[in-house]
Amino acid sequence: MGAHVMMLSSLGHGHLIPFMQLAQKLAAKGLTVSFVTTFHHIPSLRKKVDGACEAGLDIHLLEMEIPHDHLTLGKVNSNSVQWHQLPPLLDADERLQPHFQRFLERFLAGEISSLPAPVCLITDFLLGWSSAVAQKFGIPRVSFETSGMFAESVQQIVWDTLPRNLPRTASGRYLVPGVPKEVRLSRLQLLPELPEATPENGTHQFWVRQRRGNKQSWRTIVNTFYELEGEFVDHFERVNGTLRTIGPLLSPEAFEDGHVERKRIAPAVELGTSTEGEKCMQWLDEQAEESVLYISFGSENSIPTAQVEELALGLEASGVKFVWVLRMPSDAAQNSFTSALDSLPAGLHSRMAAKNQGFFVLGWAPQVGILAHPSTGGFLSHCGWNAVLESTTTGVPLIAWPLYAEQPFNSKLVVDEIGIAVEAPQRIEQNWLVTRDDVERIVRSLMIEEKGKELRKRVKALKAAAKTAVGEGGSSSKSFDLFVSEIMALPQA
């Protein structure tokens, strides 16, 4: 048995993916990994962990007991919901502290598992309180930043300082002080609640608490690669302490050129399987190279019915083929939908089938496999960090359509800083709605016109850089090996 590393993720489903990828990479280096989670995620992780064990990896899934009403994993769309208090997910993450402390007490007393005491504790950057818990038991804590360094550097300043205190340009843009290069943010690149937020704002107070804890960590690891955002990696390390870049945390198959064998890639990097996903891959096999737009707003996000209608009609008008991971709309409770397809304009689903223009996925989709498919030429995304990394790794340009959290800052990165995306023109006066005419225009811009060719060229250069970073002797590979050697040097129980 190798040195034991314990891991604890945020309750957000999107954070489980990089944590599971990290667990596999650590176990592949000979470490023993315990993955601590709650009843919310045991079902989705059980098969994944069992498969890793069958492959010879020493990973253990442990349940931390919490009340079953601790969090309802519902869908929240911040474009239509003003968060004056702490968002439910962040509140639930913070309230894990006493439950995890009790879990660790019982674990160290031998009541939960026969595994030895962990040499270190790797926890989500949203769980800054875990530094104090780890310190209580004399265990080094590692903060795992599952977001990128540009977004986190900007977010740290914007949320800590608050926009009302930031300098402004003559045109009203917000200037972010203290970062390596000038960053100007428009009103649209901030969450709806941010411009008027005061020190009493719940999210502001949350970030102050968590960042204080994160700065007490023994190490910080980041799911990014230096060549993507090196200036901001250096900046974040100066502000927050010793940092290791270890991404993109995707399997080697995700970096391959050409058609990726789907049976290899789906189990390697995804958290599910589905017959519908396989049918989607078969549909892609029949399409022309780089002709399909992939559309997904992430695993826990959805858009309102009015936006579903505008997006659907804009896609139809563009004539571009698409795969759309369609969720129940955020206002589904106000309607009598029995399926997400009910939220589409009347007759559109049958028209798309008749024209062979669109494929709708209602359940789990093999996202990396879809993006790596040679028929996929664009990605309409909410700009979560996993999606940004998957875009750069597979060489697929983006339509940036941010919804909440750090995503507007990720959108700023991919549109303005590294130039691999066009931005969906959300408008405050239209309640953040993107109209069908704007959808048609931006889809055609990315998929048909010269702009898309320019973006595709840039993102393919980043794909090559990402592949080099994780390859032997690459920046992320060396940084990860250094991190593992630092863990090995810690005293074992």
Residue 263 is encoded by which pair of tokens?
């049976």
User: What is the predicted pLDDT for the residue at 46?
Assistant: 93
pLDDT at 158 over 60: yes
User: What is the predicted pLDDT for the residue at 86?
Assistant: 65
Is 4-250+469-488 in CATH node 3.40.50.880? no
User: What is the predicted pLDDT for the residue at 142?
Assistant: 98
Segment 424-453, tens digit of pLDDT: 988 776 778 999 999 999 999 999 999 999
Question: Of the given ranges (145-154, 208-217, 292-301), which has the lowest mean pLDDT?
Answer: 292-301
pLDDT at 250 over 90: no
User: What is the predicted pLDDT for the residue at 272?
Assistant: 52
Output the pTM of the full model: 0.92
User: What is the predicted pLDDT for the residue at 335?
Assistant: 82
Q: Are strands 59-63 and 120-124 parallel, antiparallel or unpaired?
A: unpaired
Averaged pLDDT for residues 225-236 = 97
User: What is the predicted pLDDT for the residue at 333?
Assistant: 79
User: What is the predicted pLDDT for the residue at 275?
Assistant: 75
Segment 266-322, tens digit of pLDDT: 433 444 555 788 899 999 999 999 999 999 998 778 899 999 999 999 999 999 999
pLDDT at 393 over 60: yes
Averaged pLDDT for residues 467-472 = 95
Segment 73-128, tens digit of pLDDT: 444 444 433 334 467 888 899 999 999 999 999 999 999 999 999 999 999 999 99
User: What is the predicted pLDDT for the residue at 273?
Assistant: 52
Give the C-alpha separation, 404 to 411, whole Å. Answer: 11
% of the chain with per-residue pLDDT over 90: 78
What residue segments make up the domains of the chain, in order of their start? 4-250+469-488, 259-468
Return the CATH architecture of domain 259-468.
3-Layer(aba) Sandwich (3.40)
Residue 61 is encoded by which pair of tokens?
């899934």
Can you give the chain as a three-state secondary structure string?
A: CCCEEEEECCCCHHHHHHHHHHHHHHHHCCCEEEEEECCCCHHHHHHHHHHHHHCCCCEEEEECCCCCCCCCCCCCCCCCCCCCCCCHHHHHHHCCHHHHHHHHHHHHCCCCCCCCCCCEEEEECCCCCHHHHHHHCCCCEEEEECCCHHHHHHHHHHHHHCHHHCCECCCCCEECCCCCCCCEECHHHCCCCCCCCCCCCHHHHHHHHHHHHHCCCCEEEECCCHHHHHHHHHHHHHHHCCEEECCCCCCHHHHCCCCCCHHHHHHHHCCCCCHHHHHHHHHHHCCCCCCEEEEECCCCCCCCHHHHHHHHHHHHHHCCEEEEECCCCCCHHHCCCCCHHHHCCCCHHHHHHHHCCEEEECCCCCHHHHHHCCCEEEEEECCCHHHHHHHHHHCCCEEECCCCCCHHHHHHHHHHHCCCEEECCCEHHHCCECCHHHHHHHHHHHHCCHHHHHHHHHHHHHHHHHHHHHCCCCHHHHHHHHHHHHHHCCCCC
Assess contact for 449 and 377: CB atoms under 8 A. no
User: What is the predicted pLDDT for the residue at 96?
Assistant: 95
Q: Which residue has the higher pLDDT, 139 or 433?
A: 139
Q: Which residue has the higher pLDDT, 429 or 489?
A: 489
pLDDT tier, 72 (very low <50, low <70, confident <90, very high otherwise): low
